[in-house]
Amino acid sequence: MAFDLVLFGGTGDLAWRKLMPALFQAFRHGKLPPGGRILAVARDARSDDEYRALIHERFAEVDTAKRPSEEEFARFAGLLHYRRMDLSKVEDYQGLKDWIDARGAETVVLFLATSPELFVPVCEQLGAVGLNGPHVRVVLEKPLGQDLASAQQINRVVRSVFDERQALRIDHYLGKPAVQNLSALRFGNALFEPIWRRESIANIQITLAETLGVGTRGDFYNRTGALRDMVQNHALQLLTMIAMEAPASSDADAIRDEKLKVLRSLRPFGEREVARDVLRGQYRAGAIDGKPVVGYQDEARVPPGSTTETFVALRTEVQNWRWAGVPFYIRTGKRLASQEAHIVINFRHVPHSIFSNSSPANKLVIKLQPEDGLELHLLAAKGTGQHELLAPVSLDLDFGKAFATERVGAYERLLLDALAGRLNLFVRSDEQEQAWRWVEPILHHWSRESEGPKPYAAGSWGPAAASALIARDGFAWSEES
Ligand code: BG6
């Protein structure tokens, strides 16, 4: 299956930090279909060889295990091409189309790794020159819009040019191996289904914590904030995977229909609920790994006095028979105490204990990073004598060790799926719009509220009020319990 993969934004952060390394891994693993060309598009003039040299240089920053040898790079570089384009000029799109048509690849994937403001004009131009045939797919990288209206506007234009099944919206969390394992855990094993419900589960926590700050993306981040950057997409997608009913088949729409139902069942936020159940924070100076770091407002390209949130904690519920009354807590932030992402399913306590010490209830921890794995926390008998004591023990499954073969990274998986036309791990427009609909009242509330985000020290677990938010229900965040 010969393919052409066109990367708009071919010299941008995403292309060199995530996409090129992922494409190289796919190439190294022998998974890229043969006869492929990867065309980077950007506005500067440079030759194919100059672009290859640039990528070669950038690979020096990739983890050693994932860095190509000279020989491997020489072979990989054979796939790379570069084209200068002014994205406002229709003739440049015509030139691109001619370049693609001259070879007539069976599959053409157009990856828009550009700023989202360009999604509408680029799609319109692609349509104008006819680069939207049935063999073409367009991949849109998040963020898709700033709010519901802008997301709908993008989706309207995308749908006027491409069929829904040609439009692939990326949420790279769906490509993470642990997320596929979540699906396998729930729908490939009969064991958990009977207890995957309100009768057995006390609460569910989703934590996406980063020690990183905003780095060089200060201007982008300042317009975006943690709610749009992490909650509207990554955290909600994880929530849907936990809460959804079993789909009737593995067909992309069967899965996405079930996820959409969860999004529609989330308790809507009114003014009062936002004030009570959502907390925003912003980091101040502190220390990460023992090294001092500046506060958010002193980061490059962040205006002083910015009220953008770098931390969000919230409580919600899924209003249906399976989940009614079970709190789902989401917490995400930059410059937190640890670089980790996990989902914790906290089960209920035994109804009547015959043991003399009080012990934590069972929990299942689904670890997304730094390593992907599963931990099932149980209680075992400990000690002798008159009193039988309970002590926590855990069954620990490290997927990296369980499967000797190398794990496929999120972008590698999603790029290969985009080339193969597998849609399961991409987000449908109605899911994405529903997620916006749900977060919008929070954005509105914040825009009217004078208080601003609560400060927290870099290297902490966020504002103290985050513990209070969950303590209100009699629970604690997993690292505090
Ligand atoms: C991106 C966000 O979508 O996800 C970044 O824009 C964030 O701000 C990143 O750092 C986190 O992804 P991962 O895979 O490193 O957890």
Domains (ranges, CATH) in the chain?
Answer: 3-169 (3.40.50.720), 174-407+428-471 (3.30.360.10)
Q: Whose CA is nearest to atom 13 of ligand 1?
A: 173
CA of 437 to the centre of ligand 1 (A): 22
pLDDT digits (tens, 9 = 90+) for 398-413: 877 777 666 788 999 9
Q: Which residues contact 177 (CB under 8 A, 6 or more apart)?
A: 372, 399, 407, 408, 410, 413
Query: What mean pLDDT is reported for the chain?
Result: 94
Ligand 1 centroid vs 334 CA: distance in angstroms?
A: 10
Banded model confidence at residue 71, pLDDT cuts 50, 70, 90:
very high
pLDDT tens string 107-137: 999 999 998 889 999 999 999 999 999 999 9
Q: What is the pLDDT of residue 481?
A: 62
CB atoms within 10 A of CB 266: 23
Q: Which of 29, 135, 172, 234 is catalytic?
A: 234
Atom of ligand 1 nearest to the CA of 410: 14
Chain-centre distance of CA 237, in angstroms?
8
Query: How does residue 415 score in pLDDT terms, banded at 50, 70 and 90?
Result: very high
Q: Nearest C-alpha to atom 6 of ligand 1 is from which residue?
A: 229
Q: Which of 202, 159, 165, 154 is nearest to 326 (CA)?
A: 202
- Cα separation, 411 vs 415, in Å, equals 6
Out of 42-46, 62-66, 345-349, least confident range: 62-66
Query: Which token pair is 3?
Result: 């393919």
- Which residues' Cβ are closer than 6 Å to ligand 1? 210, 229, 341
Distance from Cα 117 to the centre of ligand 1, integer Å:
20
Q: How far is the CA of 381 from the centre of ligand 1 (A)?
A: 41
- CA 430/CA 24 separation, integer angstroms: 33
Whether residue 234 lies in the annotated active site: yes
pLDDT above 90 as % of the chain: 85
Return the residue whose CA atom lies nearest to atom 5 of ligand 1.
229
Structural contact between residues 434 and 263, judged by C-beta atoms closer than 8 angstroms: yes
Backbone angles phi, psi at 181, to 5 degrees: -70, -30
